[in-house]
Amino acid sequence: MEQKKRTEIATLGQFGLIDRLTQGFERHHAATLVGVGDDAAAIAPKRGDAVLCTTDSFYEGVDFDLTYFPLKHLGYKVVTAGVSDILAMNGTPTQLTVSLGISSKLPVEALDDLYEGIRFACKEQQIDLVGGDTRASMTGLVITVTVLGRADKKRIVRRDGAQQHDLICITGNLGAAYLGLQLLEREKRVLADVAHPEPQFAGYEYLLEKYLKPRPRTDIVAALAEEQILPTAMIDLSDGLASDLMQLCRTSKCGARIYLERIPIARQSSALAEEMHLDPVVAALNGGEDYELLFTVPIAMQEQIMRLGLVDVIGHITPESTGCYLVTPDGSDIRLKAQGFVE
Amino acid sequence: MEQKKRTEIATLGQFGLIDRLTQGFERHHAATLVGVGDDAAAIAPKRGDAVLCTTDSFYEGVDFDLTYFPLKHLGYKVVTAGVSDILAMNGTPTQLTVSLGISSKLPVEALDDLYEGIRFACKEQQIDLVGGDTRASMTGLVITVTVLGRADKKRIVRRDGAQQHDLICITGNLGAAYLGLQLLEREKRVLADVAHPEPQFAGYEYLLEKYLKPRPRTDIVAALAEEQILPTAMIDLSDGLASDLMQLCRTSKCGARIYLERIPIARQSSALAEEMHLDPVVAALNGGEDYELLFTVPIAMQEQIMRLGLVDVIGHITPESTGCYLVTPDGSDIRLKAQGFVE
């Protein structure tokens, strides 16, 4: 097995560590006035632009398990999570800050890997790293990502604009990330006592990628702009379809009907669900972390939406009094429930 | 003893909890387009303004000890920490987001207290709460605060502008927060096995307030603007004078000489230091968390600075090659060292 070099964080000191981690980041935006290394970042927005801001934290043992989550992928994924929130406002990500809570158990090389993933995501998404700090954490790794973005003030899409009869559209397919996680957890359990574990992932590579290295749907926001489609409401699918749709409906003061057979589920998702005796629809409804986008458009835009070729229409908006329902192929209505929260 | 009501977080659910915590916040800025409850916050900056952004995390057991830190004060303090970073850019804080990592052990009432402090700080500082989330944390409480601010693009003050001969100015007095912490830790040790502890704080109320409820130096930024003083460099004193001055010098590529007898130390700080056999100068140099401002101005501004009546000139900037030194009253030079980092 590969023996990696282990450098103790204490040998570098705080400044040395930050210098090491933040090297090799390119600046993509002239609007970035002050980046890493000051009390705060400073950006100069363009006239007419709004500035968007979102913060997400990820806790070891709650949001990720380092026994199977490669740090490089984790770095990529935390950027995706923040970027996805900016996209859900119909915006473009521009800058980010990364704050780490780290235990001294972790060698510098582990943080190098994490930052390699962050750097890769920043390059791919054309985002400037503009700040962050590192602190001691008593327990596991905590990663906090703040992403700034920009949007034309008149094209910001909120959660609260869905109207009766609007179409409910989603990108990609759902449940894959959750099933990827189930696969990783299964192999961890099976191989817990094995000296040289060789987990079996063949045929499920797509599920692993959706969980470990999800790509933000930047393409959708670009396509909507190109087709001059302005959704009435939008949210990113991070908590699961049921919870996120209900959140959108709650904010928009409306109800929804979605159709079970229209929920897109990938072939690998169905296959693993069958193998593990799981219901792929439950995975889609409650799994979360798909980082796809859910949005609503007026019914008159149906043709334009279909032309995009990137989304599925899974249902429509109803009056608030009717609530949120899943309609099964046999015609029964199942009331949607949001899943739990603090364990 | 007062018996407080204990409501389990799980009974409210994530939306219910966020609704409860974020009620009663006023909106102070028309620029706040989208606040709490969407994927990201959106703000509309004024023409010519830069947007500032800073993120700080606070970990239970590392940054605060809930056995003696009232949650209401903690809420106030985490806002101060973020606001202080914005002030150090010569900016004005405008919006903030709060992300919590919480264990289910904590009752909702504890979070109510935390948010009461945050709400009080937001009202006092005229800051809009624009977002945040709550997640499960495996261990203690983690609070992450992102503060946005604005600054005239031409009046942003960075860390890197200090020039040779510039005066080194600081606000307030130093070491008080550290000594307040020492007092709290002492009483915790002494009273660890006492059934009805009655800690002795008489005569040291100021030190407790500096540690538990530090006020950001918003007045300084206003006074600098009024007197038309633009510092060449500025940093907030969160890590301790030695570390923060060295950071400013490192970024500005310069050295510094500061004079021991000019470092302002409060009477209560000297008194407690004597009682606890601590050196108040060491507390000032390495203590941190004072949230005062350190800035440099051209020597020609000495009179203007003195007229402010709010700052002390403690030394001056020297060439980079000479390093950073503390000059004692007997004329000896002591090289400054930054204190440690990850425990």
User: A39, B236: Cβ pair inside 8 Å?
Assistant: yes
Q: How many residues does chain B have?
A: 343
The answer on B193 and B132 residing in a single domain is no
The answer on B119 and B181 residing in a single domain is no
pLDDT at residue A2, rounded to an integer: 53
Look up the CATH number of the domain holding residue A203: 3.90.650.10
User: B38, A89: Cβ pair inside 8 Å?
Assistant: yes
Does the residue B4 lie in any domain? no
For residues A208-235, give the mean pLDDT.
97
**Would the pTM count as exceeding 0.80?**
yes
The answer on A150 and A171 residing in a single domain is no
CA distance B220 to A61: 43
Nearest residue of B to residue A40 by CA position? B54
Q: How far is B343 from chain A (nearest CA, A)?
A: 7
Smallest CA-to-CA distance from A96 within B55, B199, B125 is with: B55
Smallest CA-to-CA distance from A258 within A240, A278, A238 is with: A240
Determine the longest span between alpha carbons in chain A, in angstroms.
65
For chain B, the average pLDDT equals: 93
For residue B13, the chain A residues in CB contact (below 8 A) are 338, 340-341
Nearest residue of B to residue A156 by CA position? B42
pLDDT band at B197 (very low <50, low <70, confident <90, very high): confident
Does the residue A283 lie in any domain? yes
The answer on B131 and B240 residing in a single domain is no
For residue B91, the chain A residues in CB contact (below 8 A) are 40, 42
Nearest CB to B57; choose among A62, A103, A144: A144
Question: Is the Cβ of A164 closer than 8 Å to some Cβ of chain B?
Answer: no
The answer on A48 and A93 residing in a single domain is yes
Does the residue B162 lie in any domain? no
Domain boundary among B129, B155, B181: B155
pLDDT band at A339 (very low <50, low <70, confident <90, very high): low
Does the residue B275 lie in any domain? yes
Residue pairs spanning A and B at CB distance below 8 A: 247
Domain boundary among A122, A155, A188: A155
User: A136, B342: Cβ pair inside 8 Å?
Assistant: yes
User: B135, A85: Cβ pair inside 8 Å?
Assistant: no
CA distance A149 to A28: 13
Interface predicted TM-score (ipTM) of this complex, two decimals? 0.92
The answer on B191 and B78 residing in a single domain is no
pLDDT at residue A10, rounded to an integer: 81
Q: How far is A127 from chain B (nearest CA, A)?
A: 15
CA distance A57 to B101: 8
For residues A60-71, give the mean pLDDT.
94
Does the residue A343 lie in any domain? no
Could you give the residue ranges of the DSSP H alpha helices within A30-159?
71-87, 108-125
State percent of chain B over pLDDT 90: 84
Question: Is the Cβ of B144 closer than 8 Å to some Cβ of chain A?
Answer: yes
Q: What range defines the domain where residue B320 resides?
A: 167-335
* CB B313 within 8 Å of CB B305: yes
Type and span of the H or E element at A93: strand A92-102
Smallest CA-to-CA distance from B56 within A51, A284, A39, A71 is with: A39
Question: In this structure, what token pair is assigned to residue B181?
Answer: 């912490």
> What are A263-306's pLDDT values in tens digits?
999 999 999 999 999 999 999 999 999 999 999 999 999 999 99
Does the residue B129 lie in any domain? yes
What residues of chain B, 91 to 130, have a C-beta less than 8 Å from chain A? 91, 95, 97, 99, 101-104, 130
The answer on A283 and A198 residing in a single domain is yes
By mean pLDDT, which of A258-267, B101-110, B216-225 is the weakest? B101-110
pLDDT at residue B74, rounded to an integer: 98
Cβ-in-10-Å burial (0-12, 13-18, 19+) of A207 comes to: buried
The answer on B147 and B14 residing in a single domain is yes
The answer on B274 and B177 residing in a single domain is yes
> What are A321-336's pLDDT values in tens digits?
999 999 999 999 999 9
pLDDT at residue A289, rounded to an integer: 96
Number of domains in chain B: 2
Residue bearing the bigger pLDDT, B98 or A343? B98
The answer on A178 and A35 residing in a single domain is no
Q: C-alpha angle B241/B242/B247, rounded to 5°?
A: 95
Does the residue B187 lie in any domain? yes
CA distance A267 to A290: 15
> What are B176-192's pLDDT values in tens digits?
999 999 999 999 998 88
The answer on A62 and A197 residing in a single domain is no
The answer on B133 and B16 residing in a single domain is yes
Domain boundary among A126, A155, A184: A155
For residue A17, the chain B residues in CB contact (below 8 A) are 341
How does DSSP classify residue A264?
-
Look up the CATH number of the domain holding residue B114: 3.30.1330.10
> What are B55-114's pLDDT values in tens digits?
999 999 999 999 999 999 999 999 999 999 999 999 999 999 999 999 878 899 999 999
Does the residue A18 lie in any domain? yes
User: A137, B62: Cβ pair inside 8 Å?
Assistant: yes
